[in-house]
Chain A
Amino acid sequence: MSENITKESIIKEENCVYKRTNLLVDKALSYCPGCGHGTAHRLLMEVLEEMNIQSETIGIAPVGCAVLAYEFLDIDMQQAAHGRAPAVATAVKRLMPEKFVFTYQGDGDLAAIGTAETIHACNRGENITIIFINNGIYGMTGGQMAPTTLPGMKSSTSPYGREVETMGNPLKMTELVAQLPGTYYVTRQSVHTPGNVRKAKKALRKAMENQKLNKGLSFVEIVSNCNSGWKMTPVQSNKWMEENMFPFYPLGDIKVPVE
C-alpha cells in the first residue's frame, strides 16, 4: 500500500462508480425509512438524466404517499386530484406531444378511485408512461385496506384480515390493462434487492423510451413494501412481500412489444 493515500486522492472523478442523480432535489424524502418509494424516485430520475430529457418531461403526482413527489423530483410537475392523474397526463401529452409525460400513482389512487381514468387512458393508447406503486395499502391515510390488499391481509379497515366475501377481491390492474389494445408495454417489477432494482430501472427506461415510438401506453407496476402500514421492520416487510405479494402479483413482463 502506498503511503500517500489521502481522502483527497480517493475522491476523484475517475474513481466515482456511483453518484446521486442531479435530478433528485437535495431534500430529505417524506417517505418512511425502508419504503420503496425513494428507490423508485431515484431510478426514474436516473432514467430521465441518462436520457437527457429533464427539460422535456412533465410528471403528474397523485394523491397518496407520493403526493409530494414534486418536492423531490427536479422537473416540472403537476399535482392531480385523487385518481385523476391519467386524465391530466392525457391532456398534457395531447397538447404537447413532443414532451415526455408520466404519472406516478399508488394503488388506492390508480386502482380504486382512479380506475376509470386508468383504464380509459390505457384503452385510448395515450402515449404516456404510468408508474404504479403497489404496496397493498393506503399508506398516507394510515394503513387502510386498498383495492390490492391481499385476502386475509390486515389493515386498519380490515382489522381481522380482508374477507373477500364481504370486502371483495384484490384487483390485478396490471393484468387487466395488459388486455387492452392501447397498452404497448406492461410489466411488473420490484425494488427490494439490487438485482430487482436493476431490472426495474431497465423497465422504467424502456417505458420512457417507448414514448418516442408513439405506439401506446407503457405501464410499469412496482410491487413495494409499506413497513409502517404493514407494521413490520423494513427487512420483515420485504420478506413478507416476497412470500405473500409476489405469489399473487408475480414479477416480470406481462405484455412486451412485438419487435
Chain B
Amino acid sequence: MKELRLMKGNEAIAEAAIRCGADGYFGYPITPQSEVLEYLMAERPYEKTGMVVLQAESEVAAINMVYGGAACGKKVLTSSSSPGISLKQEGISYIAGAELPCVIVNVVRGGPGLGTIQPSQSDYFQAVKGGGHGDYRLIVLAPASVQEMADFVKLGFDLAFKYRNPAMILTDGVIGQMMEKVELFESQPRLTKEEILKQTPWATVGKTPDRERNIVTSLILDSAIQEQHVNKLRDKYIEIEKNEVRYEKIQCDDAEYLFVAFGSSARICQKAVDMGRAKGIKVGLLRPITLFPFPKQVLFELADQVKGILDVEMNLGQMVEDVRLAVNGKVKVEHYGRYGGMIPSPDEVLLALENQIIGGK
C-alpha cells in the first residue's frame, strides 16, 4: 500500500531499498549519509524481507561486497559520501567492467580531501566523467527532493538491471538531511531463486550440469578481445543516451533566460525563477534528472529560444562544461557557484543572473 510519511532524504533511500525488494545493503558510516545505515540497522529488514544489512570495515570492503552480491544476481546497494565514494572507485570500475547491476548513493559533501561535512555538488565530474580507471560510464540520477530519493532507488535498480550497469544516485547533504513529505511506493517482494536465474542467467549461483560455468570477471588479457568488450560497453552507453534521458522543464515555454541546475541547486533556482518572474524577468529552469545520460538535445533546442543561460552548481563549475558542449556556442553560458559547503540563496542566484547574463557583464 502507498504510504505518506515525513522523512529525511537518507531515510527515504533506506526505506525505498527495503520496499523495492533489495537483497543487501553494505555500508560504512560517514557524514552526512550515516542515517541510511542507521535506519536499516534499526528496521532489521532481515527479519521481514530477508534483506541483508552489513556494516563493513571500510568503504572499500563495502563496494566489494556489492560486487560479490551483484555477481550473484542479487539486488544490492551501498551509500557513502564524497571521501568514501573516492575509496569505492576501484570497486566501481570493476563493477562497470564486469557489467554488474547495482545502486551506489553519494550524499555529496564539500571537498577536496576531508573537506567539510556540509553539502556540495563537487563530485559531478567524478560521477559523470569516470572516477575510477578505464572507459566506463555510470547511469547518474540527481534527485531534487526526498520524494525522488525514494523513487530513484527503484528507478536506479530498474536501469541498472536493464543495462547491466552500475547506477549512481548523486545527491548531497541538503537532500540527504532535510525532511519532506514522501509518498512511499508499495513494497515489492525480493526475487526468488528462480526469478534470479531467469533475470540474470550469468550470475554465479552454483554451476549446474545443464550449463557451462559462470565467471564474473573484468580481466581480459587479450587486447583485441578487451577492445571488443569496450566496444560493447560503448554501444550500451549509446543505447542509454538514446533511451534514458530525463529532465524537468520549469517555466521554459516563454523563457528568455534559463537556469540550468540539478539536485538541491535546482530547488534554489526554482525559487529564483518565481522571484525573477515577479520582477518581470522571463526566466525558466532546466533541471537535468539524469546527469548521464545528459539532456543535451533539449538544451541545444532551448539555446535557440533563450538569450542566455546561467548554470548554477554548488561547485567551481563542473556540469557547466556539459551545458556548454550541448549549447555549442549558440548563446552565452555562465556559471554561478558556491562551494566548500556554502549554499547559495535564491536572491544571490537571481542577482547572478541579472549581473552575469541579463546585464551582460
Interface set of A (CB-CB < 8 Å, partner B): 54-58, 60-61, 67-68, 70, 74-81, 84, 87-92, 94-96, 99, 116-117, 120
Complexed CA–CA distance, A81 and B58 (Å)? 15
Instruction: Provide the residues of chain A in CB contact with B65, threshold 8 Å.
Output: 87-88, 90-91
Complexed CA–CA distance, A78 and B74 (Å)? 14
The reply to whether B217 and A70 contact each other, CB–CB distance below 8 Å, is yes
Interface residue total, chain B, C-beta cutoff 8 A: 38
**With A81-B90, A117-B57 as contacts: A90 and B68 at CB distance below 8 Å:** yes
From B26, B74, B215, B218, contact of A77 by CB (8 A): B215
Complexed CA–CA distance, A116 and B59 (Å)? 11
Complexed CA–CA distance, A91 and B26 (Å)? 8
- Chain A, Cβ-Cβ closest to B203: A76
**With A77-B213, A78-B217 as contacts: A89 and B68 at CB distance below 8 Å:** yes
From A79, A99, A120, contact of B57 by CB (8 A): A120
From B68, B205, B209, B219, contact of A76 by CB (8 A): B205
From A74, A81, A99, A117, contact of B213 by CB (8 A): A74
Asked if B161 is at the interface (CB within 8 A of a chain A CB), the reply is no
The reply to whether B61 and A84 contact each other, CB–CB distance below 8 Å, is yes
The reply to whether B207 and A74 contact each other, CB–CB distance below 8 Å, is yes
Asked if B159 is at the interface (CB within 8 A of a chain A CB), the reply is no
Chain B nearest Cβ from A177, distance in angstroms: 14
The reply to whether B54 and A78 contact each other, CB–CB distance below 8 Å, is no
Complexed CA–CA distance, A79 and B215 (Å)? 8
The reply to whether B61 and A92 contact each other, CB–CB distance below 8 Å, is no
Instruction: Provide the residues of chain A in CB contact with B98, threshold 8 Å.
Output: 79
Q: List 14 A-B contacts (CB under 8 A).
A: A55-B208, A58-B204, A77-B213, A79-B217, A79-B219, A84-B60, A84-B91, A88-B68, A91-B72, A92-B69, A92-B71, A99-B206, A116-B61, A120-B56
Interface set of B (CB-CB < 8 Å, partner A): 23-24, 26, 52, 54, 56-58, 60-62, 64-69, 71-72, 74, 76, 90-91, 94, 98, 204-209, 213-219
Complexed CA–CA distance, A74 and B214 (Å)? 9
Instruction: Provide the residues of chain B in CB contact with A54, threshold 8 Å.
Output: 206-207
Chain B nearest Cβ from A122, distance in angstroms: 11
Instruction: Provide the residues of chain B in CB contact with A117, threshold 8 Å.
Output: 57, 60-61, 64
The reply to whether B91 and A91 contact each other, CB–CB distance below 8 Å, is no
**With A79-B215, A87-B56 as contacts: A95 and B206 at CB distance below 8 Å:** no
**With A54-B207, A55-B208 as contacts: A88 and B67 at CB distance below 8 Å:** yes
Chain A nearest Cβ from B203, distance in angstroms: 8
From A61, A76, A84, contact of B214 by CB (8 A): A76
- Chain A, Cβ-Cβ closest to B66: A91
Complexed CA–CA distance, A88 and B40 (Å)? 21
Instruction: Provide the residues of chain A in CB contact with B213, threshold 8 Å.
Output: 70, 74-77
Instruction: Provide the residues of chain B in CB contact with A67, threshold 8 Å.
Output: 219
Which of B23, B52, B57, B214 is the most central at the interface, judged by chain A CB atoms within 10 Å of its CB?
A: B57
Complexed CA–CA distance, A77 and B205 (Å)? 9
Instruction: Provide the residues of chain A in CB contact with B209, threshold 8 Å.
Output: 55
Chain A nearest Cβ from B360, distance in angstroms: 51
Chain A nearest Cβ from B361, distance in angstroms: 50
**With A57-B206, A92-B69 as contacts: A70 and B58 at CB distance below 8 Å:** no
From B61, B68, B91, contact of A60 by CB (8 A): B68
- Chain A, Cβ-Cβ closest to B54: A94
Instruction: Provide the residues of chain B in CB contact with A92, threshold 8 Å.
Output: 68-69, 71-72, 204
From A76, A88, A116, contact of B207 by CB (8 A): A76
Chain A nearest Cβ from B142, distance in angstroms: 27
- Chain A, Cβ-Cβ closest to B193: A96
The reply to whether B57 and A81 contact each other, CB–CB distance below 8 Å, is no
Chain A nearest Cβ from B186, distance in angstroms: 24
- Chain A, Cβ-Cβ closest to B212: A74
Chain B nearest Cβ from A73, distance in angstroms: 8
Instruction: Provide the residues of chain A in CB contact with B67, threshold 8 Å.
Output: 78, 80-81, 84, 88, 91
